[in-house]
């Protein structure tokens, strides 16, 4: 199979090969395609079971009263933004 890359894709790959992230452009393309195939397979079969521990943790925090009000959250964010200025 022959695939034609755009000049932008070739440049991006060349930079990452030069950085030593991949041994060759061909290997970079193979790895990146493999990664995307795995991602798509996960997306296609995602039943959100991975989220259950996070939901359980959040529900436990609420049950313990380990929460903050919207006003507290906004005040904390305002303080963070002010500190960055």
pTM > 0.85: yes or no: no
Radius of gyration of the chain (CA): 22
- The string of pLDDT tens digits covering residues 9-67 is 999 999 999 999 999 999 999 999 999 998 888 888 777 788 899 999 999 999 999 99
> What are the φ and ψ backbone dihedral angles of 48, each rounded to 5 degrees?
65, 15
Q: Where are the domains of the chain?
A: 7-44, 49-84
User: What would the DSSP string read from start to end of 56-81?
Assistant: HHHHHHHHHT----HHHHHHHHHHHH
């Amino acid at each position: 199979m022959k695939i034609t890359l755009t000049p932008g894709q070739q440049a991006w790959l060349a930079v990452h090969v030069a950085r030593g992230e991949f041994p060759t452009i061909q290997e970079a393309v193979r790895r990146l395609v493999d990664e995307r195939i795995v991602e798509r397979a996960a997306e296609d079969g995602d039943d959100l079971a991975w989220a259950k521990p996070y939901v359980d943790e959040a529900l436990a925090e609420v049950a313990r009263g380990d929460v903050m009000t919207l006003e507290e959250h906004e005040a904390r964010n305002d303080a963070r933004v002010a500190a960055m200025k």
